[in-house]
Structure 1
Amino acid sequence: MLIVIGFFIGSLVMSLGTSAAKESMEYIKDQKGGDPEQQLDIFLSDEGEWNQKDTENIVERISEFGEIQLLSLESRKLDQYGDTFPVVPVLFYEEENWHIPLVSGKYFSTKDMEEKKIILGKSIAEKHKIQLGDQLEMAGVSFTVIGIGGRSTRETSWEHAIYMPWKSYRDLYGDFFLKEKNAVSIRLKSGKDQFEQVSKEFTEMANLKGIQLIYKEVNDVDSSSLRNTLVITTVSTVLIYTIAIINIVYLMLYWVMERRREIGIFKAIGANNRYIAKVIVLELLLMSVIGGSLAVLMQYLMMILFSGPLIKAGISIQVSWLNLFSALGVSLFFGMISSISPIIKVIRLDPIHVIHLK
């Protein structure tokens, strides 16, 4: 029992650390919003009297380099509920490797760029009990909800906005550029290198149309939190398993000494050292599997019972197959190491001597 508890504690630390590392990776990826090396923040502003159509053309030409999202536009109303929310128009001609995370549903396809479809933030959907496939009206036009944006494990910026195809937004709100405080921010999600190659000509073309175009690189995200999580998890797991191995070895040696007459009899009737060593290894591996499995089960129960408070606290202990593989893998590895000393002790036992011991 004590041996199983040792494997259980070590596996639980490993599994929780795996969840923390996985969440850190997702958080960093979310903060980057894709590959920051290929992203740009582009700003358009009025250089006098800009024209709505010219500005639309500039936006659509920028989208030829990669997916764009128009940010900082005016909030728009959901007709059925009377609430206003930020709306982010999206435009691309080729589907990207990364898109905003989704709790459920799917992201836009190239075909959806021509459709009346929207992706709703998780907070908006939860507040008004909106589900996938529901029809929502904006400015009298009906849209189908195809995705719920955000993360189920924590709050994100995406869950407070509505995403819709650029064409739908443009058709719905007309001369919105002329009403948006004469400035708009665009996030180019990819294609930075290609854009920069023609940026001078692009800027000059915009200036001729009364539009000031400036851009800057997207800052990378500090990934030290992930490294810290991995280091803490590794160090904690190794320390706990080191203590567990010492205790397990002593317990197994005690187990060998308690059963030395039995082992001696086995040897006397023909059981070789290899067979007895195999029995010891199998027993230890079985206990390590039980301890590792109980650890993952315990984490799963914690996830179910305390999901609400944990999410509010920004703590994720989501269980996946990765947790099972990491917990069992490490537990089995240290189980094998723990079996070395008892096996050596068994091999050195003299069957004639131990049989005559009282």
Structure 2
Amino acid sequence: MINKNQRFIIKTLVSSLIRRRSRMAIALLGVAIGATVLLGMVTLCYDIPRQMGQEFRSYGANMLLMPANNQSTMSMADVTKAVKLLPQDKLLGVTPFRYDAIRSNQHPYTIVGTDFKQVIKTSPYWQIEGKLPEHPNEILIGTDIANFAKLTIGSTMPVTGKSKQNARFDEDLTITGIVKTGRSEDSFIFIALHDLEQFLEESDQAEVVEVSITATQDELKHDIEIIKKQSDSIEPHLIKWVTQSESSVLGKLSSLLYLVTFVVLMLTMICVATTMMTVVMERRKEIGLKKAIGANNRSIAKEFLAEGLILGVLGGIIGVICGLIFAQVISTNVFGRTINVEFYLIPTTVVVSAIVTVIACLIPVKRALEVEPALVLRGE
């Protein structure tokens, strides 16, 4: 139960806030803006690695699995075991590749067997004219080959080669699409891995496996160490230009967001301190009168700090609501996705807002405690 003294203190605080509602509204607005930016920016900082990680996956895979011990190929069964060691909820795609040399109309080419359903996950940057192969003996050719051999979608491309048992194969392959990447893929012929294995008379083998996974560079390094410990036949590698670019961008962006948050919190403190300083100047006679009738410095300090605490909590609550909306709007407009909110940040934001406001009140409180009753009551 609240006793009479506590009720009097609460009534005094509420009365003081209401009588100076215009000034307190300014301070409340400053705290609310600070809390809005704090929750919004920190939420973005926590969720940006996930958001940016998905954006960076459009630039291709970030991990390679290759044969260990100088072997030319690796078993797909071993690849499957290695992939299972990765966090499955973050895994976006796993694409095997098998290479072989063939000839078409006396010209040498490189044919690549792959899984087309997976390649669009690990290499979304591929620009494909036409469609991906869906049936046996259908192929996708690079734009350089299409230009050189004057081939179009629907054309038939005769190829010859040798299997791993040195048996000759001759096939007529139908072109269903032309791929353009601006990279080495433009000079390759792509076919379903199963079809190439039939030509080579050797199955369940891959030379390179691209893995696309949503993870930071440190997390990828940790995953690589796990695979190295668990598998003797697989050698995992980072695709450094992707992971380093991702880490660099994320680091700079997070630093910028934290800097902006810090600056806004400093401005919030200045706004609250200035407002409370004005309030102290307006209440000099009231403070002097309280001291004259026996109020001590501790009770006066508690009153001002309590006012600051109320402002901080109310501003923090308003800022939490606005901050969640702010973070969602930014995430939707920039990344096209909703943001994942860490709910423990909500009470943390309110607490930080209250602490910042109380700290901002310390200088005004110090000025209030320096008021001399005799001088003030004489009008000096």
Picking from 331, 340, 343, the partner of 2:362 is: 340
Picking from 73, 77, 81, the partner of 1:60 is: 77
| Correspondence for 2:288 | 264
SS in 2 for 1:313: helix
Q: Percent identity between the aligned chains?
A: 19
1:178 aligns with 2:197: yes
| Correspondence for 1:277 | 301
- TM-score normalised to structure 2 length: 0.50
Distance in 1 between the 2:255 and 2:355 partners? 19
Kindly provide the CA deviation profile for residues 217-275 of structure 1, in whole angstroms up to 9, marking residues without a partner as x: 44334322332233222322332333333332222121112122222232223221111
Change (3 A) 1:271 1:180: farther
Counterpart AA for 2:365:
I
Kindly provide the CA deviation profile for residues 44-73 of structure 1, in whole angstroms up to 9, marking residues without a partner as x: 9xx99x9xxxx8xx3324445562774255
- Asked if structure 1 preserves the Cα contact closer than 8 Å seen for 2:38 and 2:323, the reply is no
Change (3 A) 1:180 1:300: farther
- Asked if structure 1 preserves the Cα contact closer than 8 Å seen for 2:31 and 2:268, the reply is yes
1:311 aligns with 2:332: yes
1:192 aligns with 2:242: no
Aligned CA-pair RMSD: 4.3
SS in 2 for 1:357: coil
Deviation at 1:332, TM superposition (A): 2.6
Distance in 1 between the 2:237 and 2:267 partners? 52
Deviation at 1:295, TM superposition (A): 1.5
Change (3 A) 1:231 1:302: closer
Distance in 2 between the 1:338 and 1:59 partners? 63
Change (3 A) 1:282 1:332: same
SS in 2 for 1:321: coil
Kindly provide the CA deviation profile for residues 200-224 of structure 1, in whole angstroms up to 9, marking residues without a partner as x: xx8xxxxxxxxxxx86444334322
- Asked if structure 2 preserves the Cα contact closer than 8 Å seen for 1:300 and 1:318, the reply is no
| Correspondence for 2:28 | 4
- Asked if structure 2 preserves the Cα contact closer than 8 Å seen for 1:28 and 1:223, the reply is no
1:105-144 maps to which residues of 2 (within 5 A)? Answer: none
Runs of 5+ consecutive residues of structure 2 not aligned to the other structure? 1-24, 86-92, 97-113, 123-193, 212-222
Q: Select between 325-334 and 293-302 the one with higher mean Cα deviation.
A: 325-334
Counterpart AA for 2:76:
V
Change (3 A) 1:215 1:239: closer
Distance in 1 between the 2:303 and 2:283 partners? 13
1:255 aligns with 2:279: yes
Deviation at 1:350, TM superposition (A): 1.4
Change (3 A) 1:86 1:180: farther
Distance in 2 between the 1:296 and 1:227 partners? 25
Counterpart AA for 1:194:
K
Deviation at 1:322, TM superposition (A): 4.3
| Correspondence for 2:372 | 350
Q: Select between 239-248 and 289-298 the one with higher mean Cα deviation.
A: 239-248
Runs of 5+ consecutive residues of structure 1 not aligned to the other structure? 77-83, 89-174, 203-213
Kindly provide the CA deviation profile for residues 324-347 of structure 1, in whole angstroms up to 9, marking residues without a partner as x: 245334323321221111111111
Distance in 1 between the 2:358 and 2:342 partners? 25
| Correspondence for 1:144 | none
- Asked if structure 1 preserves the Cα contact closer than 8 Å seen for 2:35 and 2:319, the reply is yes
Change (3 A) 1:331 1:215: closer
SS in 1 for 2:65: strand
1:42 aligns with 2:63: no
Counterpart AA for 2:228:
D
Q: Which has the larger radius of gyration?
A: 2
Change (3 A) 1:251 1:272: same
SS in 2 for 1:228: helix
Kindly provide the CA deviation profile for residues 89-127 of structure 1, in whole angstroms up to 9, marking residues without a partner as x: xxxxxxxxxxxxxxxxxxxxxxxxxxxxxxxxxxxxxxx
- Asked if structure 1 preserves the Cα contact closer than 8 Å seen for 2:44 and 2:327, the reply is no
SS in 1 for 2:66: strand
SS in 1 for 2:295: coil
SS in 2 for 1:300: helix
Change (3 A) 1:179 1:270: farther
Deviation at 1:18, TM superposition (A): 0.7
Change (3 A) 1:280 1:24: same
